[in-house]
């Protein structure tokens, strides 16, 4: 997808691979269920994670 011009990713995996690969190519990512900011602090836009039935957002 990066080679086809995608520059923002959202995914539902619990692995930093997508975020790290996107960051190396200059793309941005949104995490889902797991805050991934520590893996690419300059390229993670946000993440959401349901806690106790409520949706909480993590920058």
Tell me what pLDDT residue 49 has.
65
Q: Where are the domains of the chain?
A: 2-58
Furthest-apart CA pair in the chain: how many Å?
A: 39
CB 22 within 8 A of CB 3: no
Tell me what pLDDT residue 58 has.
53
Grade residue 52 by pLDDT with cuts at 50, 70 and 90.
low
Instruction: With 0.85 as the threshold, say if the pTM is over it.
Output: no
Encode pLDDT of 13-49 as tens digits: 678 888 898 898 888 888 777 778 888 889 888 776 6
**pLDDT score of 6 more than 80:** no
What φ, ψ does residue 2 adopt, rounded to 5°? -60, -40
């Amino acid at each position: 997808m990066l080679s086809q011009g995608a520059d923002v990713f959202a995914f539902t995996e619990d692995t930093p691979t997508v975020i790290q690969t996107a960051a190396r190519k200059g793309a941005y990512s949104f995490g889902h269920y797991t805050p991934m900011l520590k893996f690419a602090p300059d390229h993670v836009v946000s993440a959401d994670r349901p806690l106790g039935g409520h949706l909480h957002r993590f920058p």
